[in-house]
Each structure stands twice: as C-alpha cells, then as structure tokens.
Amino acid sequence: MPMAAVVGLGPRLFLVKLPEGEVRSFPRAPLSDELPRGLVDALSLLDQGDRVVTTESALTDRVAQVLGRSVPDPTREEFRTVRARIPLPEPGAERTFALAVAHRMLERALRAPDEILITLAREEERVERALGREHRAAEAFVAIPRSPVEAYAVAWQEARASLARHHGALRATVESEARTVLPNLSAVVGARVAARLLAAAGSLPALGRMRAPRLQLLGSRRRPSADRGPRYGILYRAERMEEVPLGRRGAYARSLAALASIAARADASTRKDVSARLLARRDRRVDDLQKQRRT
C-alpha cells in the first residue's frame, strides 16, 4: 500500500512518499500549530487509499484535520525507512531553531497574568526606590541663585515630577492587575501589597502553597529575633496596619498573615470569593488590638 509520512525535523517539515521515495520539504515556524500552506496542498492531493502517518502528536491532529480521517503512528520499521530518506539538517540550523523555540516558550510563559503582574510589581518597586533616592538627594542639594546650578535644579525638579507621575500611573496599573489576578488577597492586604507578595514568592502556585509564618516574613531583609525585628516584611504596608498601635503591629502581622495565606490559596486554586469573611475577621482583629495595651 502506498504510504506518506509527515516528519518534523528542526526547522523543516518533510513529506515522504513510499515506495517511490519522493521527499518534499517545507519551512516550519517555532511552536506554530499551523501546517505550511504548501504541505496542506500536498496532503490534499494524496489518494484516499494512501496510508498517512506522522511522527509527532501535534502533527497528527493537524494532518487528520486536513485529510478528514484518522492518522496512525508509524511502525518502527516504517519510521526507520522514512527517517533514512530525510537529509541531515544544515549545520547550526537545529540549534538556531531550538533557541527560537525556547524564546517563544519563554515569551508564552511570561504572558501569563501572574507573570505579568510580577513584572509590573517589581518594576513599580524599582521606580519607587529610584524616586526615593532622587527626593533624598534633592533635599541635600543646594541650588546657588543666579547660576547654572539653579537652572539645573529647575530641570531636575521637572524630571522628578515626571518620574513621580510615571510612578503613579504604574502603581495604578499594578493595583488594577492585582485585583484581577489576586482578588481575595488584594481585598485583605491591599492590591499593591498583594502584588509585591506575589513578586516576592515568585509565582502564584508558590504563593498559594506558602504557610502563614513564611508569608509574614516575605520581604524581610534580616533574621527576626525577640529583641530585633522585623517580625514582618512586605506586610508592614498592608491595609489598616497604621491604625494598629505600634506595639501591637507584630500581633496584627501574625493574624494578617494567616488570613492572607487563606486568601492566596483561594486565588491560586479555587478562585472562590472568600474576601468578605476574611475582611470581617481582619477588622475584628484590628478593633481588638486597638483596645489592648502592651504589657
């Protein structure tokens, strides 16, 4: 029985016809699910009685769609026969194609909503640090009247104002994305803090698996102890933290971390809205801490 095989090898797709041994080559785009137009035309010209096989599952689905019938895998002997007919790739062609595939896979992974939020959150934090450095430098800068230094100070002030506007717009974008990706966590700790927690954790699944004590210390730059803080990291910017007495903020951070871990787990898995229950517990805890005095 006449047979045709569709074989992928690096940047090329091959259509091999047996027993005559005709081989046709077609360019292949990295990670593309679409068959080249020339290959589709060649497949459409095959006889209905021809046995058609493929060497890749992704090719099998596309070829079957073109032919309108099932496409089996080749036997071991068929695979060897077909493979022997295919010419070796050009030197470096496979490596170049593999690098292109890896680049496309990385780009596809980075398009995930949580990865986009991580990128934006890290950039917003970097811009905030840059803005802080510029403001501290401006406070110590002496602008000499009626001199080029004074003119420079005016231009520098405009640059800082432009950076501040950029930071404000970026922060608004981060908070908007956080409310979409992390709705429960954003409600409990605030959208900006939720985004930074995600960036510190590295991924949404990792954040969802994180236990409360570890989440509480995310962003902490030194080891906590009884007489030396911090007992919390990114959470020091969390919602309602400033309303808690200074001596009770560690206790609030522990309670908030427990609620945040539940919220993160819901955002990473079930996507169920549990924010109302968690907010009620958070607000009760704040009220209790405001009434207490540190002994």
For residues 184 and 143, what is the distance between their CA atoms, to the nearest angstrom?
Answer: 48
Residues ≥6 apart with Cβ < 8 Å to 4: 15, 16, 17, 18, 43, 46, 50, 51, 52, 53
For residues 52 and 63, what is the distance between their CA atoms, to the nearest angstrom?
Answer: 9
Which contacts of 216-221 are long-range, i.e. CB under 8 A and separated by 24 or more positions?
216/253, 216/254, 216/256, 216/257
Residue type, 214: R
Q: What pTM was estimated for this model as a whole?
A: 0.67
Q: Give residue-wise pLDDT tens across range 89-121.
A: 777 776 777 777 777 777 776 678 999 999 999
Q: Which residues pair with 279 in a beta bridge?
A: none
Please report which residue ranges of the chain form alpha helices under DSSP H: 37-44, 57-67, 76-85, 93-110, 113-140, 148-181, 183-189, 191-201, 204-209, 212-216, 249-268, 275-291
Report whether 31 contacts 8 (CB < 8 A).
no
Q: Give residue-wise pLDDT tens across range 42-55.
A: 888 888 888 888 88
**CB neighbours of residue 59 within 10 Å:** 21
Q: Where in the chain is the domain with CATH 3.30.420?
A: 3-90
Q: Give residue-wise pLDDT tens across range 115-124.
A: 999 999 999 9
Q: Give residue-wise pLDDT tens across range 166-180.
A: 999 999 999 999 999
Residue type, 96: T
Q: What does DSSP assign to residue 234?
A: G
For residues 108 and 88, what is the distance between their CA atoms, to the nearest angstrom?
Answer: 30
For residues 109 and 189, what is the distance between their CA atoms, to the nearest angstrom?
Answer: 27
Confidence label for 293 from pLDDT (cuts 50, 70 and 90): low
Q: Which residue has the higher pLDDT, 181 or 230?
A: 181
For residues 30 and 104, what is the distance between their CA atoms, to the nearest angstrom?
Answer: 7
**CB neighbours of residue 221 within 10 Å:** 7
Residue 255 has pLDDT above 90, yes or no: yes
Q: Which residue has the higher pLDDT, 230 or 62?
A: 62
- Architecture of the domain whose range is 113-291: Orthogonal Bundle (1.10)
- Architecture of the domain whose range is 3-90: 2-Layer Sandwich (3.30)
For residues 265 and 3, what is the distance between their CA atoms, to the nearest angstrom?
Answer: 53
Q: Where in the chain is the domain with CATH 1.10.246.90?
A: 113-291
**CB neighbours of residue 33 within 10 Å:** 9
